[in-house]
Structure 1
């Protein structure tokens, strides 16, 4: 079996230098690192990541905690986080916790004993509950701000402002907002953005909810909107809006209001003028993972909140 010593010999470096290429590549020149990697590839050498992490006092695993798997919003976030972590030779584990109660905190704390750090996506618990976990393990938040903690946030409130302005400018002066899950930190921020723009432009907003971020919740919401005067609907989540549209189309296709969605869906439907909001979930997951890996190595540095811009539409549809 090929050893690190064999790689060092072929690359004409010391064993210690070859080891640094795989453990601390920043401490080795790019030329030397490339020579060592080529030697490893030629010999079929696979570094023992677990042993290397343990030698550094690390486990080599980080955890991403999401409140639900029913909301498709988190799927690309998980994908992006996994991509970034694997690029660093580490592993990602995913756990589901709504993070609302002390038992949730205890579960996450137990998980924290088995990983190097935690990413909490959309946690719904209080600041004090989140801090209890963050005090025990390096932690980065997604779509949630707690003073003193790192966070990566998709700036959806700004996107909701933009689509509200577009809808009103398109002649929709009575809007409906479908709220997100109870306890959602982001929901009041999105709702506030919609209300502020509508007020400034002398439009009316009917607020419904709360609803879970699911297709079935959107179907149920159709009953709440049966007497609504709104000609356009801004749902908290895409799946919620799709469920609403489906239910309204089966009841009376002639009276379905405009419902904001995502560009891919607008394109599939051929709706070139549809207001869209497109969060780059993969980028969100990658940024959060990168921040956590940095935090694990820099625990005494001040926290930072990173806001990612969220594109809105309408955008040009792809040509046939």
Structure 2
């Protein structure tokens, strides 16, 4: 396998000149750059990108930290981040870390020493923890906002508010919101948006939770939901809604028509066949990675919170 020394000898230049011709050609005479490039083609030499990166103090690796792999919401974010990283010639590594214990923090700090930047998905980690960790390397916080930290979020709160107004327009006057995990930024944003929209529309709102965003948790609140005698339920997450819907169906109380006068039955939004808040996780991951690449290259400017618009889809009649 050809080496840089072989290229330099073939081109009749020093090894350092050959290196500069490949890494920073603007600093080398054009004729010399041409000879070095011709030598690389003739010898089949492939520059070692990792070595070039290390010479600049970079590894070419970025990390995406998620609290778990069991939540399907994170999967498209990972996919979008990975695709976008490849476009910038970056290698993405995924680390599972809840960022809650002292050992979690030690593992994060070890990882931070090995990478050029971090994407952090940490819905429940303490604000002080996030602020500290974001100071270790260029960092983008994903789907959560914190003063002083760059972030990209999906604006689901605004989508939930639009959904409430649309349901009121359909004639619903008593709604239930089933909250997601406690101490999470997104759940707080959604609950506040739903409450504000219900207040503006002068309809009744009941709030249940906080709950884990799981099928089992949704099924577990069926009796509480039925006791509230509402006509429509807005769950924090699809899995919550699916668990509830199954039990409502078994009890003969599930409505499939979004009709507030459907004989005491309840509609559940956010599940297939019903209105849904459509978060594009791939776009969220791509945008976060694009912002991170800019930070790594010194192009980020001051800390900025960016919210991506989220549409509400309605089933076709």
- Shorter-normalised TM-score: what interval? 0.7 to 0.9
Distance 2:316 2:303 in 1: 39
Corresponding position: 1:259 with 2:268: yes
In structure 2, the partner of 1:174 is 174
TM-aligned CA distance change 1:223 to 1:69, over 3 Å: farther
Q: 2:78–2:282: 8 Å Cα contact kept in structure 1?
A: yes
Whether contact under 8 Å (1:117, 1:138) holds in the other structure is yes
Match of 1:65 in 2: 65
> SS of 1:109's equivalent?
helix
Residue in 2 that maps onto 1:284: 284
What are the equivalent positions in structure 2 for 1:173-192 lying under 5 Å apart?
A: 173-192=173-192
Counterpart for residue 314 of structure 2 = 314
How far is the alpha carbon of 1:238 from its aligned partner?
Answer: 1.2
Asked whether the equivalents of residues 67 and 121 of structure 2 are also in contact (C-alpha less than 8 Å), the reply is yes
Partners of 1:2 and 1:261 in 2: CA distance? 58
Q: Does 1:120 align with 2:120?
A: yes
> Match of 1:158, SS?
helix
Quick one: distance in 1 between partners of 2:2 and 2:252?
69
Could you report, residue by residue, the CA deviation over 1:67-114 in whole angstroms, capped at 9, with x for unpaired residues? Answer: 222221111001000111112222111122222344432321122122
Matches within 5 A, 1:293-308: 293-298=293-298, 301-308=301-308
Q: 2: CA distance between counterparts of 1:231 and 1:19?
A: 65
Q: Distance in 2 between matches of 1:254 and 1:131?
A: 44
Bigger Rg, which one:
2
Deviations 1:280-312 (A, max 9, x none): 100100111111121122288311111100011
Gaps in structure 1 of 5+ consecutive residues: 25-31, 267-273
TM alignment of 1:190-209, pairs within 5 A: 190-209=190-209
Distance 2:68 2:171 in 1: 36
Indicate whether 1:132 and 2:132 are aligned: yes
Please tell me whether the aligned partners of residues 122 and 185 of structure 1 are also in contact (alpha carbons under 8 angstroms): no
Structure 1 counterpart of 2:148: 148
Change (3 A) 1:129 1:81: same
Which sits farther off after the overlay, 298-307 or 235-244? 298-307
Offset of residue 20 of structure 1: 4.9
2:65 counterpart SS class: strand
Alpha-carbon separation, structure 2, partners of 1:96 and 1:145: 20
Could you say if the C-alpha distance between residues 231 and 132 of structure 1 is closer, same or farther in structure 2, counting changes exceeding 3 Å? same
Q: Which moved more, 1:136-145 or 1:151-160?
A: 136-145
CA contact (8 A) 2:176 2:206 kept: yes
Give 1:156 shift: 0.6
Shift of the 316–122 alpha-carbon distance from structure 1 to 2, 3 Å rule, reads farther
For residues 136-158 of structure 1, the C-alpha deviation after alignment (integer angstroms, 9 at most, x for no partner) is: 22211012111111000110110
In 1, Cα distance between the equivalents of 2:144 and 2:214?
20
Q: Please give the secondary structure, in 1, of the residue aligned with 2:229.
A: coil
Change in CA separation of 1:230 and 1:300 when aligned onto 2, cut-off 3 Å? closer
- 245-254 or 162-171, larger mean C-alpha shift: 245-254
Structure-2 residue corresponding to 1:110: 110
